[in-house]
Structure formats: C-alpha cells, structure tokens
A and B are shown apart, each in its own frame.
Chain A
Amino acid sequence: MQFGIFTVSDITEDPTTGRTPSEAERIQATLTIAKHAEEVGLDVFALGEHHNPPFWSSSPTTTLAYIAGQTSTLQLSTATTLITTNDPVKLAEDYAMLQHVSGGRADLMIGRGNTGPVYPWFGKDIRQGLPIAIESYELLHRLWREDVVDWSGKFRTPLQGFTSTPRPLDGVPPFVWHGSIRTPEIAEQAAFYGDGFFANHIFWPASHTQRMIALYRQRFEHHGHGTAAQAIVGLGGQVFMRKNSQDAVNEFRPYFDNAPVYGHGPSMEDFTQQTPLTVGSPQEVIDKTLGFRDYVGDYQRQLWLIDHAGLPLKTVLEQLDLLGEEVVPVLRREFAKNRPADVPDAPTHASLVKAKYGDGAPRQATPRANRGDNLTAGSPYQDAEGGTAPGRGAAFGLASAGTAGAR
C-alpha cells in the first residue's frame, strides 16, 4: 500500500501571525515538503492544478520534474490534472516527458476542476464538463497506446496521422487515477478503462465515499478487469498531529476556523466527526485511517492533506516527521494484516512493465528519419508493434490497424 501527501498549492495567510507567504516562498516550501516526504519514508507526492490566485500550481509537470530530479524513490502524481481545460494532446506529451525524466515515477489523477471561470478562460463551457472529460480522456488514452492516431471529436480540432512524442517510457503509459467527489459517471469511466479511482474523501461524509467506491468496484468487475476487490482505490484524508491530542486541537483550531473551503463554517469538532479530518495524536490518526478500510475495503493509496490553510513550513515538516516515524510504519503493518493475497498493490511503472512484457525486454521506441509520410509509409517507429516495413500497406492502413485491440 502507498502512503503520501497531496497539496492544493494554496497560498493562505497564517491566521496566527497575519502573514501571507509570497509565491516564491510557498513554491520553495512545497519543494522542501516534497523532498522531506521521501526522506521520512512516504511513497507519493501529488500536486494540484489551478489557474488563479491564491494558488501557484499552474504547471504541475514543471514542478514535478524538478522534484523528480531531487528525489530517487518518490512517486509523483497530481491532484488533479484538469482533463477538461487542458488539451489532451499536450497532456499526453507532458506526462510522457515526466515519465521519462522521472524514470517511471510519474502517474496522474484526472479531474474536471470546479473553478468556473477556468473553463471560459481556456475556451470551454463548464456545462459540457462531463462530455469533455469523457472525450478528452479517450483521446489521451489512445495517444499513449497508438503510435499514429487519426481522431475527430467535438471539443478539439481533429488529428490526422498524429504521433504523441515521446512515446511512453518502455512502451507503458503512466497509470491513471480518476478523481471525483460526486459524479457516478467518473467512477464508471475509471472502471471502464481499468484505471484507479481516487475519492477526495476530505470534504464529504464517509457514507458518500462508500457509495462511490462501491459503484466503482462493481463496475470494475463488470468491465472485466478483475474482481471488485481487486479494483484500484485511493483515498484522501486530512490530519494534524501533536504527541498530545489536546495540543494538536489547540494549535490547529485557528487554521481550521479560517481555512479556505470550510472555514467559518462548522465547528472543528463537528467536521472531525462528519469527515475523515483527524486532529489529535498519531494514535488517533492511525485508528481513524484504519477505519477507512471498514467501508471501502482493502485499498491501494492513502494521501493526506497536511500543508494547507496557512500552516507554516516548519509545522508541515513536523507533520511529515510524525507521519513517517509514528503513523505510516504502523499503518503498513496493520493494513497488511488480513489483506487477501489477490488484492494488488497500486500499479507502478515496474509492475506495469512486468505485466506487459513479463521477463522480456520492454519496448524502446526508436523513430525512423522523418519523411513526413506517417500516413502512407507505415509506422514512424522502427520498432513498431506489428513490424510493418516502411513503404508497405495502403494509405491509412496502419493507423487504423493500430487502433484495433489497442485497449
């Protein structure tokens, strides 16, 4: 099971000091947090995407690529990547690049985004959010699996003979999670492709998450990717810890009371009772997190939100220390107990390569010299699967042959 943190990249005033960090300071702080996540033994760092202040993370692959260069084992992910307002072609390129420079340590979590104006800023209509998400992901999925893509749809200009470069590392696309709070169609989408499903979980009651995950698991089995218990599930969570529970409550309360999203709303006590938020001792976090399994089943990835609402860097690093030293080692041990042998771990690049090639050598995509004739002269790659020699095959033949059975 993977454990990690996710950040929304908010730049928020520290309510205890009245001070707001600059963009530069907060960006550097986040890089430090990511590196420390690896140092304390966490597995995953996931970064949000926003296109308006007070958030800074508009370009996640740039940030994650830098973190990749500064770390060696940390899995880099997103929370979430906007499939609605980003061009799926650019996403295919950017995340394949991230996969290459990180040595296969990249995956991503697809989401629609809920900031209204972002849609018109990027030329989209929020009322079409779901149809765009469906169409764009289908294209992204193909771009990573077919060397040459002919495509047309409603929300993007058509493609004829397009090759997304670089081809995914070792011929294995990055693993994809789909994040949604309340849309059953997204659970269905994740299940259809055999991808992971991530329940944000942090702003909603457990009963809601339970129903979404149950739907995803049932549809995962329906679409033939394995049993319901083998579906790939991730959960969010939100914690603040001190050795003594009451110290955590006292220290976190001003941050809670003024937090973006839920601040000035419910009491911290009510919110703690109604959502996965835990404010208390490491043991309380352990107990609450272990309880998640009771309503979603054995799952693959747990991410916590620990750095929002203006919490200072020093405090966040202390939270990471507590997670790494006291919480995660116990959770690894306890979650492993009674976990059925046929419930898989979260897919990694290594496991996906193994699944695709066994002990064989993975694909190393090697282009031919560019003759500008992708459509008529076979694959642009010397090692294309199916191995058609250049110059053979009718016009459009290879591209369409490549489509069949690609999923």
Chain B
Amino acid sequence: MAAVSLENWVERIRDPKIECMSRDEMADLQSRRLVDVVDRVYNNVEFYRRKMQQRGVEPGDIKSIEDIEKLPFTTKEDLRDNYPFGLLAIPMKDVVRVQGTSGTTGKLTIAPYSQKDVDVWGECVARGLTMAGLTNEDIIHVCYGYGLFTGGMGLDFGAKALGATAIPMSAGNTKRQMMCMEDLGATAFACTPSYALYLAESIQEAGLVDHMKLKAGIHGAEPWTEEMRKKIESILHINCFDIYGLCEITGPGVAQDCIHKAGLHVHADYFYPEVLNPVTHEKCADGETGELVFTTLAKEAMPLIRYRTKDLTSIDHSTCECGRTLPRISKFTGRTDDMKVIRGVNVFPTQVETALLSMGGVVAPHYMMIVDREDNMDVLTVMVEVDESVFSDEIRKLDALRNKIAATLKTALGLSVRVKLVEPKTIQRSEGKAVRVIDNRNL
C-alpha cells in the first residue's frame, strides 16, 4: 500500500479540545495541575518535601505554571538513590504495574503506574497513532519488546485506547515478523528506527514489499535522522512518525510528530516541557537548543518535578499546520550523555548517520563508532558496511570509496576519522536501542 501523500492527507485529531487549545487555556489547565501535583508530592514524598524545604519553597508559593522555575530539579541519580519505590506518591496497593529500563550502569530505572497513569499513557499514545492517520480499523504490528521496557506495552495500550487491533509480536525473529505482518495484514508497525530499517531491508530482499498493507511506521526510543526516515519510507512506501518518550515520564507517547514532520507535539496537558541551557539552567528561547526537562502534571504513582531528561532539543510554541497548538520539540540532536568529546570536538552519533546518508545511497546507514586513545591521542574509527552496490573487484576503487567516506565525515564532524570497511550485516542490528558508539578510552 502506498503512503498517503500530504495533498491527500485527512488530518484527524483525537482530542481537539486539548490538542488545539489556546495557549492561555492550556496555561490555566497546566497551572491547576501543577498546583495539584506539587501539593501531592510535598505531602506524600519525603524526597520532594525535603528538596523544596531546602530551597525555601512551599506548595503555597506555586500558583501558576510560571512558578515552575522555583521548583527543584529531579535527576536520574535521584531515581537511583530512591530505588525502587522511594518516590512513590500513592500507597503500593494502588500501583497496578511497574515498567522500567535496564540502565547501562547498574540498577534499573523503575516507573510505577496507577490505573489512571496507565489510562493517560494509552490516551497519549492513541493521540499519536491518530496523528499517524490510524483509526480503530487499523492493525498495528508491535515489534517493540514487551516486558519491563515501555515500548511494547505503550503501543499496546495506545492501540487499545484507539480501538485498533494490536499484534503483540515483541522483538526478534525477523522472518516470523515478516510472515505475520503479511498474513495478518498489518497496516502499521511500531519499533525502533534501526530495527525498522533492518526489517524494511529484509522485506525488500524477500521481495515482499508489495505483499504488505503497511501505511505507517511509528518509531522511537533512539534518536534518528530525517535521512533514515526517508530511507525507511522509500523502501516500504509508508509514512514514518517519530514517537518520543521515556519510562520515567510515562514511556512512548510523551510526544510524536504529525504528517507535517515539523517537530514532535508534546502532550503538554500531561507532561510540561521546559528546554533549559544545560549549564546555566536558564530557559531557552523558542528554537534554541537545550536540555529537555519534564514535569508530569497528572501522574499519580510517581510524579516527577522538573525531571532532567539529558535529551537535547529545541521547542516551538507556534501553531502547527495540522492545527494543533501543542508545543513541538525538534527531532533530537542527541543526548547530553551520548555526546562524545573527541579531541575537544563534540560528536553525536546522529551527525555520523546524517553524513553517511547524505552520500546518496553510496553506503549502508549501518555504522559503528569506536573511540580509542592511542599515544594520548583520541582516535575515532567509523566502521561502515560494504554492500553489493559499492563493492568493486578492485582495491583502488575500494580505497577511493573509503577515502571519500573519510572526507565526508571529516567535513561533517570537523575531525579526522578512520574509516574501516566491513562485511555486510556484520554490524549488530539492534532490536531495542541501537548501540552506535563504543568508547574504549578509560576516561
């Protein structure tokens, strides 16, 4: 099935009253909810009460959303220090489920939910699915992992709220994914963008593109570029949407882009976004890049106040072409902790991806960055897969290809890069979050 072009697109809005609300009305709603959530955390969570007292702030000082700047931040370290249930604001008997992420360092990050929290989560994902043009007639193939990871369950709750059919495939076994997608007639699928690309290529290789009824892909959980989106869209002839979330806040569905692909609409009635200078913590102007900080305005089980996501983005409060007034955050340029400082230059994996894809199909967008330190000097090696379209029988042509990639990367990153050509499909395809950087320096 071909993608619906912008000219033929019929915009559907699940909750126009909220999603197209005027800024003043939204600020009123946010203010009421902020007052309420601050009251709840102050009275029920020792951690927040102490933090607010240390800053000399009382619930009575918070009268409107503008007062949010008076409140303390919450960090991932705070979650770790209060692991597992130290930040709970409701009795454990009212917690209906727990999700989490396996931190790369040590303990899990835990996210408890009340029934209402689960309903809000599903509602927000359903708003996103609607943005993607899906209705209760659609069949959504979910190949995010099911389990503690929020991807699978989040899309499932969203499909349920929408009344669509969810196929809970979970991750892995690409052959089986393709078979079910074809046999059950999926009209949309949801997974990480790196797996979406891998799946798209596999479908293409198996000659199954025309057998599929897909029209939309919902992808998130890792940063990806416009080029990667175009690649998936062109292989499968679908529209791909960027869904954003983090389990601490609710999981996927905190924000998602619409057909205009002009930033991700944040469900700001539930999740209040701030974009702050990561060093000075001052509010960034619209369009200025900073760290994304969220306050969960209606969360019951574990409300978070000014949670620092470490994700870098900018915000735009203007009304979108789709009609939504929900503020939009730009596609992510990276995370403050994904960024590598190599010989004093800030490098994000997404820059490498953009540069490789800008070479117009010359190289496969599967890559791995390896940072080493040799003789006190940082060395960045980028491994790139050689595929059939570029493989030459002649060493000098392969050398020329390697030099061309190195030159492109040097221009994009402002840093000399070693390029290593590797056999196809040898760079690990992830079914969760793709690992793009290996840092061997002992910093």
Asked if A and B are interacting partners, one says no
A residues sitting closer than 8 Å to B (CB atoms) are none
